[in-house]
Copies of this chain bind each other. A is one copy, B any other.
């Protein structure tokens, strides 16, 4: 039974004794603390192909990571929320556009300044590595979600991850905000808006969720949602699958 549900966050750093940390900057976020807060009601924070000149911290709101294609098609690779960092995993040019889903507030740091600060504080380097690893895990699970299931499973997986992120990893969450449009969700899950809509309707009919206004749902049957998302699985060995209920 190795499945200690979790295997997540905040451990890499603590593996090293916290003794040698002379700097007061405890977290990557604190680097942005002194920076001016910028507001953006809508549109792009930066464009795919631009030189990566800045790193951002999301203060408030939601953004989407977008790959645009010349044929008009679009892929939403992910969403960004308060406290997320933008651009730290980029090397030279931004490989995607980042746009505001709702009016947002961000702080920015020039790439050079960010690098300098990181270089001077070993603790922050570790935090950066930890952050990149978390980001990897998140993108990785998105790969699995896209390759794996049908429309309903993908939507359930998306709702689960939204519930977790917006609730500080508390689960089950009752209310899940979905500030992005159906088109954003569709492009994120590799589906069309119609299919997303139908899948959502089916979930409502099954009593798994119910709509609250337009941009939120209430999770009525968290367990069923988890099962449908295929999130509880990941066995790989034979001797599982007893699971009553």
Residues of A within 8 A of B (CB): 2-4, 6-9, 11-12, 15-16, 47-51, 67-71, 73, 75-77, 89-93, 95-97, 112, 115, 119, 122, 125, 128-130, 132-137, 139-140, 142-144, 146-148, 187-190, 230, 233-237, 240-241
Contact = CB atoms under 8 A, between A and B. Distances in A.
B137 A2 contact: no
Nearest to A97: B236
A93 B139 CA distance: 17
B68 A190 contact: no
A11 B92 CA distance: 7
A155 to B, nearest CB: 14
A144 B67 contact: yes
Contacts of A130: 91
Contacts of A132: 89, 129, 132-133, 136
A144 B233 contact: no
A136 B135 contact: yes
B146 A143 contact: yes
Contact of A91 (B3, B16, B137): B137
A2 B137 CA distance: 30
Contacts of A233: 69-71
Contacts of A237: 47
A148 B49 CA distance: 19
Contacts of A95: 7, 137, 140
